[in-house]
Chains A and B, each alone.
Chain A
Amino acid sequence: MIRDWLCKKILPRALWVYHVNCGACNGCDIEVLDTLTPYYDAERFGIKLVGSPRHADVLLVSGPMTRQAAPAARRAYEAVPDPKFVFAIGSCATGGGMWHDTYNVLGGADQVIPVDFYVPGCPPRPEAILHGVATALGLTSKEVHALRAIQECDAVESCELPEDEWLTQELD
């Protein structure tokens, strides 16, 4: 909690970002670079890319976590000093994308490093990345939430949503 408070008080002034590609196609990497270009200009918020994780406040991870890149990603995470944020950018980093279950992909970034914020998209628009950063810093609130819907049914009088244990079992 103190860490979160620290992050929200100090970091909005200038976020230094270190980008790690764990196996991405580069689509998300290019959109991350795009946020620095004139139309989106992330640097007006004090965000800049740095060349060493030791200088960074935020670790930006893109790509599914491949088996080969996992140790490198873990070390990069450990090299970023506290307090730090980890952002997973793109569908591959949030959930493993289309290759989440292949032999060389471990899944999303959170299989190997703890992720604080996820920005889904394939690739996410630069606006979505900026929105993610703003939400993480508490400048705006998140928009997405779980969608649950039950089809209306006339024949059955009442239906209660049962416990989801069976559901999680089925999903494995």
Chain B
Amino acid sequence: MSRHVELDEDRAVTAEQITDSMRRRLGDGLLDSRPAGPTRLYLTVDPAKIVDAADELFNGLGARFVISAGTDERENRGGFRVSHFFSFDDEDLYVALHALVPEDDPRIDSITPIIPGANWAEREIQDLLGVTAEGHPDPRRLVLPDDWPADVYPLRCDFDTRDRPASAEGMAPPMKNRPEGAVMVPVGPYFPTQHEPEAFAVFVEGEVVVDSDYRGFYNHRGIEKLGCADLTYNQIPFIAERICGICGFVHSCAYCMAVENAAGIEVPRRAQYIRTIFLELERLHSHLLWTGVAAHIIGFDTLFMQTWRMREPVMWLCEQLTGNRKTYGMNIVGGVRRDLPADAHEKIEKVIADVEREWSALTDAVPGDRTLIARLEDVGTLTPDQVRQTCCLGPTARGSGVAIDLRIDHPYAAYGELEMEKCVEDGCDTLARTLVRLAETPVAIDIIRQCLAKMPDGEIQATIDEEIPPGLEGIGAVEAPRGESFHWVLTGENNRPKRWRVRAPSYQNLQAIGPMIHGDVLADVPIDIGSIDPCYSCTDRMTVIDRRSGQMRVMTREEILDRR
């Protein structure tokens, strides 16, 4: 049987039970409870009780924190909406906690002290909307650039998307934990030899990592602002596709699913199957890509070249079927734009058969490679408890025994009709995460074969006769190769969404790096970071601060790799 998991009666939680539990905890603080179908529950709470509400869901009922979002609703509701999203994975239920903070006092209690994984999400709301998270342990600027002026909040409705305020001095967020007695030289984000715009600062005592810091968001392009009453519903899938260079189709699917969920649009079955095929093809090439990049990080370039050779026919196949190797452009609200051509089945089968054959040879040749295993084993340990606290996902979580996989937990597209197993390992280290990804490759191939065999006939697009009414909300979530990609849409006027919230899995996984590298040797930090598979794992640039001597120097990747 496919997705159905026998629910433990003691643990099973329904929407009614959640509502009752919240009512007992919050009393009058629970302002509204609105289920939307069997898989969505939208709760509105008094902002003064937000921490209690979050605590009840996260600790009391065992939900997983997904993300937070802020929306400017001053015009129609007189305040800012702060939303925290949770998931009950075993029950296929997403729960939203909405709270409206008044316009003249935009503050709300921070939930980060009880849910460490909400750290970035709340800082993002601060940066982009100006709603302060009171009591946040680390309220530094996160998303906006270093020269962005204070008190200018891009996601507010009165800020025009095209506005570019003048540079401001002194707004850059400081890196944390300056060692006593040391002189901090700001190397890192502005250092000329940086390969990739992100910077990790790693604090070491001798060789062992004791702390770290991160300054990212160089790639902030204002995507959500384009989804705020700017672009139309059908322009956004193409924006979504370009959020990420590998998970493009994932994001466009999740967005379309969110709008379809909000507006109650039923996607034809054939379109669901076509979406599933491309989602799994994307997973195939993504895992092969990651294997190559991870190998490249630890210096095994042969494996890099060979895995990328193996993945190339998948790229050609996608180009033949969709018109582009990577940006498939297939999704539109209500279905897909292109049908599979008549010879698609043979073409797909041939390519995946080749990948399967090569993958078998690869997995046969890896376990005995002691050097490779030695670089991955017992490195980058992340315990299940740390997974839960940082709310990380995907293979990063499954490598620590935390079995979250949306294809089974929150089935979407055609997954509800297909058979698959979750790939879970217990090692909690980088090797475990590698094995998870290697195991998922034949599962993806099998899913594609099932889709080809069961492909239904029929339409590929739902007919949408009327304009989507404003004021509806919907959630779409897809299991990307890296974990859960979560989209929330609030529909708006004039064929445009009012708010579009995107949360890629790496957003949570990157927050798990701190606990992961703690206690590791310096030379293992690049592969640790690579093991979460951030979209393009690049940890060439690293600032090393030796806490004992107070000295600081910058290391190149070659130096780091040579140290082992």
B is bound to A: yes
B197, A103: Cβ atoms under 8 Å?
no
* CB contact under 8 A between A66 and B248, given known A51-B558, A72-B189, A72-B190: no
Extra inter-chain contacts (4) besides given A98-B239, A123-B326, CB under 8 Å: A24-B219, A27-B327, A33-B308, A51-B557
Residue on A nearest B535 in the bound complex, by CB? A26
Complex CA distance for A31 and B308, rounded to whole angstroms: 11
User: Chain B's nearest CB lies how many Å from the CB of A80?
Assistant: 9
Chain B residues within CB distance 8 Å of chain A: 144-148, 154, 159, 161-165, 189-197, 217-223, 225-226, 238-239, 242-246, 248, 289, 305-306, 308-309, 312, 315, 319, 324-327, 535-536, 540, 556-558
A-B pairs with beta carbons under 8 A, tally = 155
Max count, chain B CB within 10 A of own CB: residue among A33, A63, A68: A68
B159, A103: Cβ atoms under 8 Å?
yes
Inside 8 A of B219's CB, which chain A residues have their CB?
21, 23-25, 63, 66, 69
* CB contact under 8 A between A26 and B221, given known A37-B308, A51-B193, A103-B163: no
B145, A68: Cβ atoms under 8 Å?
yes
User: Chain A's nearest CB lies how many Å from the CB of B240?
Assistant: 10
Inside 8 A of A24's CB, which chain B residues have their CB?
219, 245
Partner of B225, one of A30, A76, A103: A103
Residue on B nearest A106 in the bound complex, by CB? B164
Inside 8 A of A68's CB, which chain B residues have their CB?
145-146, 189, 197, 217-218, 220
Complex CA distance for A72 and B308, rounded to whole angstroms: 30
What would 10 A/B residue contacts be, using CB atoms closer than 8 Å?
Answer: A38-B309, A51-B540, A68-B218, A72-B192, A72-B194, A76-B193, A78-B192, A102-B223, A103-B165, A105-B221
User: Chain B's nearest CB lies how many Å from the CB of A92?
Assistant: 8
* CB contact under 8 A between A125 and B221, given known A30-B289, A37-B309: no
User: Chain A's nearest CB lies how many Å from the CB of B244?
Assistant: 5
A104, B308: Cβ atoms under 8 Å?
no
Complex CA distance for A75 and B219, rounded to whole angstroms: 17
* CB contact under 8 A between A25 and B312, given known A67-B147, A69-B218, A102-B222: no
Inside 8 A of B245's CB, which chain A residues have their CB?
24-30, 123
A123, B325: Cβ atoms under 8 Å?
yes
The answer to whether the Cβ of A101 comes within 8 Å of any Cβ in the partner chain is yes
Residue on B nearest A62 in the bound complex, by CB? B245
9 A-B pairs closest in CB distance = A26-B245, A102-B222, A27-B245, A68-B145, A37-B308, A75-B192, A26-B536, A79-B192, A67-B145
* CB contact under 8 A between A103 and B162, given known A37-B312, A98-B239, A98-B242: yes
Inside 8 A of A101's CB, which chain B residues have their CB?
161-162
The answer to whether the Cβ of A52 comes within 8 Å of any Cβ in the partner chain is yes
B193, A103: Cβ atoms under 8 Å?
no
B225, A102: Cβ atoms under 8 Å?
yes
A99, B190: Cβ atoms under 8 Å?
no
Inside 8 A of B165's CB, which chain A residues have their CB?
103
User: Chain B's nearest CB lies how many Å from the CB of A77?
Assistant: 9
The answer to whether the Cβ of A5 comes within 8 Å of any Cβ in the partner chain is no
Inside 8 A of A123's CB, which chain B residues have their CB?
245, 325-327
Contact bitstring A11-48, B, C-beta under 8 A = 1, else 0? 00000000111111111111101100111000000000
A99, B223: Cβ atoms under 8 Å?
yes
Contact bitstring A47-82, B, C-beta under 8 A = 1, else 0? 000011110000000011011110110011011000
Contact bitstring A79-100, B, C-beta under 8 A = 1, else 0? 1000000000000000001110
User: Chain A's nearest CB lies how many Å from the CB of B192?
Assistant: 4
Residue on B nearest A124 in the bound complex, by CB? B325
Max count, chain B CB within 10 A of own CB: residue among A21, A75, A123: A21
User: Chain A's nearest CB lies how many Å from the CB of B243?
Assistant: 6
Inside 8 A of B325's CB, which chain A residues have their CB?
31, 123, 125
The answer to whether the Cβ of A139 comes within 8 Å of any Cβ in the partner chain is no
Partner of B193, one of A23, A37, A53, A104: A53
Within A116-134, which residues are at the interface with B (CB < 8 Å)? 122-123, 125
* CB contact under 8 A between A99 and B192, given known A38-B305, A39-B309, A122-B324: no
